[in-house]
Structure 1
Amino acid sequence: MRVGCPKEIKNHEYRVGLTPGAVREYVAHGHDVLVETGAGTGIGVDDAAYMAAGAKIAATAKDVFEKSDMIVKVKEPQPSEWAQLRDGQLLYTYLHLAPDPEQTKGLIGSGVTAIAYETVTDDRGGLPLLAPMSEVAGRLAIQAGATALQKANGGRGILLGGVPGVNPAKVAVIGGGVVGLNAAKMAAGLGAEVSIIDRSITRLRELDDIFNGRVRTVFSTIDSLEQEVFAADLVIGAVLIPGAAAPKLVTREMLSGMNKGAVIVDVAIDQGGCFETSHATTHSDPTYEVDGVVHYCVANMPGAVPVTSTQALNNATLFHGLALADRGLRAIAEDRHLRNGLNVHKGRITNKAVAEALGYEMHAPEAVLAVA
């Protein structure tokens, strides 16, 4: 199989779908790899390094899309990219389709078979290809929030960890999953007063054990959520329903009860955001203000640290990527975790959460693959 890796074109996206190390693995499995020239510039890797790993260099993205049987990316395809996808081609990348009807329509029209990193599962019920970027985003959320809290950036002018004799900032983390855990680790490590809000008592017990009392755990109700958000200087939105649009847990009305100059960081923005007032921003213009509250809603947060993010992502995606290259559709048919990752196949939606969010008929992966 010929595996193609185009350069990412989303605003300030510096990650790349394949590292030279990953290329060597595909080549060792007998595959040809085609990498667009300059694809690794954002992580400090030049074309020569890819060639040394066994890749061929394509002059344009058009060459990569035209000549490849499987496309490996990082972010969801942009309009100019989904227009180049075709029937019979595999697409392996993050998609986040539930809040993105236009991309969904583009992928359906292309006939491509699209596997979304964020819905591939594992035997423990986790999302192993989403987890590394959730770890990065959770940690970055605190760095971004701490910067936004500075007065010159529109924030309250509070140092996250305080100093002796001066209280630290209060940080409320909504959601106790991978993002929430990593955000809480960073915030607590910097000396902030941290609470994690979640609806799972089991998860709250786990978090209580992990932090040994250094972080407050709060069962999520309307009352408790309001209390935590109103008291916080920094609120991290870390809610995830796999494949589905994020629930709007913090309403526009609730902003009036927050501290002026407080900051919210919506890590769930890829799935539409969990704040009613959220809309996607970019690294070049990351924040905006609503009712005196600073919003940070960058949709590709890990792109800010592409060297770390690319390596972590490739570590996670390589195993399933090789399986797809080795066995094609058979790999999806034989592996239930890859079937969970299948979102679109030959014009049909194969993920229940995406179908429900966008009003499409859902086709079971087993059924459409059997037809193919």
Structure 2
Amino acid sequence: MAPMSTPSSELTVAVIGCGRPLRTEGSTGFGMAHRHMAGYQQSGRCRLAAVADLSRENAEAFVKEHQPDAALFSDYREMMEQVRPDIVSVCLWPHLHAEVVCGAAPFKPRAIFCEKPMDIHWDGSLRMHETCREHGVILAINHQRRFNLPLAKAKALLDEGAIGALRRMEGAWHNLADSGTHALDMMFFFNRDEPAEWVLGQIDIRGSRKVFGALNAGHGISSFRFKNGVRAVYHFGPDSGDFGFLVRLSGESGEIEILPQSPWLRLRRTGSAAWETVDTGESIHDDKAIYRAIADLIQALDSGGRPLLDSENALRTTEIIFATHESSRRRARVDLPLPPGPCALLSMVESGELKLEN
């Protein structure tokens, strides 16, 4: 565990993978490094000490915007050796996550805040978690939607007993391993991060595409059971909008839905045909969630505890993704824990068992 800090002390930050801000020239993604940096600045506790990026142009633009005197590196290991930052943000494409997180952890930063999904392989995801634990480094994965107000309010309503005891959850979104990792993480959040005990899944390779370099199956379904008996089903693919919700919680005496558009959150009690809209004043996409996640990470450093986005929680979500692929490969239910290994989806593509469309 990282040592505790004084709540007023300054924390140095390093960023690996600067990128460009969303919808600007040269942007290849959501500009997550810039959004992380906004959260660090919002905290009032953090100072950008250094960045590492293979693109000198991107690195220079990043520090010009956020901290002109920050050091620039092309090699993240050299940066870690020279700067020894307190917190490291890893904002790279998924296939680089395990390599870089495991490469940075031995330099013993106090925390690493890595973008989701954890990695493109299950064994890589496990290695990230285990390596950081070995070196006493907190690893947090940016499933930031836990901190969006509609989800926080839904969790509060559930915990208050607004729909009675939770019995079932159903989710639907575009894919399994990119945006889907948020939907699955929501389910674990609502069920108090209870571990799952088995997964039964099927995938369809048709319509598959790469998201930030990581292959996502085009269509599929994943059914799983939590150890406390709650059941969950997640649908993914081009027709996910047919369901009309992102996540539905079914309890003994009502339902709660997280919606993919405004009003974002609604509640229906048993015996009523009408939905009650719950206005939190915020969407499920608001960047304030990232700011809150970073504040929670800093609080964990101050207290010596674990952040809500700790990699132990993220592993449970990640295991569902890879167990779904493995279940499709085996054509059978997969009992958890899932043994370490490569991604079954990629293995089936590489072996020719599954053929991608041209």
TM-score, normalised to structure 1's length? 0.40
Q: Greater helix share, 1 or 2?
A: 1
TM-score, normalised to structure 2's length? 0.41
